[in-house]
Every structure is written in C-alpha cells, then in structure tokens.
Amino acid sequence: MDLFLKIVLVALSSYSIGSIPSSFIMGKLLRKIDLREHGSGNLGAANTFRVLGFKAALPVLLFDIGKGFVAVRFLSKLGGPGIGFALLAALLVVIGHNYSVFVRFSGGKGVGATAGAFLALAPQALGMCVTLWILTLLATRIVSIASMASAAFLPFSIPLANRVLGANVHYSVTILAVAAAAVVFVKHASNIKRLREGTEKKIF
C-alpha cells in the first residue's frame, strides 16, 4: 500500500469514528429528542448533562474520550508506525467530532475527543490539564471556562511534563496542541459571548 492510500485510510477511519454522535444517539434513545434543539444546542457531554442528567452524560463523555484514544492508539497503525499518522488520526477524529457527517456536519466542541487523543499522545500532560479542568470547574462551576483554561494550558503542559515528569513526547505534539486549543476557543465563541454578557449558565 502506497503512502497516499495509507494517509487516506487513517484519515477516513479516524474521521468516521470521530463522527459517531454519542450525545445525539443518547438523546434519541432516552427521550427521542434532538439535543441540538435543547439546552445550549451543542452535541457534547456538558449539554447532555444539562438536558438528560449525569447518567446519560457520563457514557457520552467516556465514549467521546474513547474514540479519540482509539483513533490515535489503534487506527493510526493502519498507516504504519511513526508520529505523523498519530497526529493525523488525532486531527481527524476531532474534526469528525466537531463536524459529523451523520448530523449534517454539526457536532460538539471537541473537548472530549481531544482529551482522548492526547491521552494516547501525552498522558502525563493530559493529567495536568484534567486536574486544572476539575479545579477550575469547582471554582467557577462553568464548564466552558474550565474547558478553555485546560485547552490554553495544553501546549504548555507537554514541555512541562517532559521536563518535570520525564515524559518523552515529540515536539510536534505541542504544535498539534496549539491547533487543538485554537479549535476549542473557536468552538466556544458563543460561550465567550455569554461570559462577556454575564449570561453563561453554571453547571450546578
């Protein structure tokens, strides 16, 4: 198999698994509703929690994290070894989550899928970001602030984990982290607007 076909195979398989809209499916299964028409309208774990509750949101979150992890750890191997295919898988699984072909290219904001991808790419750095996410959420009770704070910290957590925890993450993963953080902020544009207006809802 030549390089082009390997790239296409990894890209399509990663995008496809990323496109599985777990929150949309959960809404249809539990209440026969389209989550895009309820709450914030976002197809993610946070809106699932607001509309359907914790018992529905937890499996949605775990699934979204899982598809990011599976794409990077396993689907990237369809192209062969090397960091390049892992980065491609990480990028495409997040794009699939955010712009799913199964729900007319709508989707979530990429936080869960990004977490899963970086769980495979840089687990120590992700652990730092999750800790920050939890602490920020407890302090503010606003998921969007916690998510954006963690996303902003992600590019810095990778070299920090390399230096302090002895991780050996390739520098290109930091570049991907910058892109991932930018995507998270772009997808949170409506949240940023509500934060400025003081209308962003608290999760608890």
Q: What is the pLDDT along the chain (204 residues), one digit of tens a residue?
A: 699 999 999 999 999 999 999 999 999 999 999 999 998 899 999 999 999 999 999 999 999 999 999 999 999 999 998 899 999 999 999 999 999 999 999 999 999 999 999 999 999 999 999 999 999 999 999 999 999 999 999 999 999 999 999 999 999 999 999 999 999 999 999 999 999 999 998 887
User: For the chain, what is the domain count?
Assistant: 1
Q: For residue 162, tell me if it sits in a domain.
A: yes
Q: Which pLDDT belongs to residue 130?
A: 98
Q: For residue 112, tell me if it sits in a domain.
A: yes
Q: For residue 168, tell me if it sits in a domain.
A: yes
Q: Which pLDDT belongs to residue 152?
A: 98
Check: CB of residue 13 under 8 Å from CB of residue 76: no
Q: Which pLDDT belongs to residue 180?
A: 96
Q: Which pLDDT belongs to residue 44?
A: 93
Q: Which pLDDT belongs to residue 82?
A: 87
Cα–Cα distance, 13 to 79 (Å, whole number): 11
Q: For residue 203, tell me if it sits in a domain.
A: no
Q: Which pLDDT belongs to residue 45?
A: 94
Cα–Cα distance, 45 to 146 (Å, whole number): 14
- Tell me the residue range of the domain where 168 lies: 3-197
Q: Which pLDDT belongs to residue 26?
A: 97
Q: Which pLDDT belongs to residue 95?
A: 97
Q: For residue 103, tell me if it sits in a domain.
A: yes
∠ CA 140-115-24, rounded to 5°:
85
Q: Which pLDDT belongs to residue 110?
A: 93
Nearest of 160, 156, 70 to residue 121 by alpha carbon: 70
Q: For residue 202, tell me if it sits in a domain.
A: no
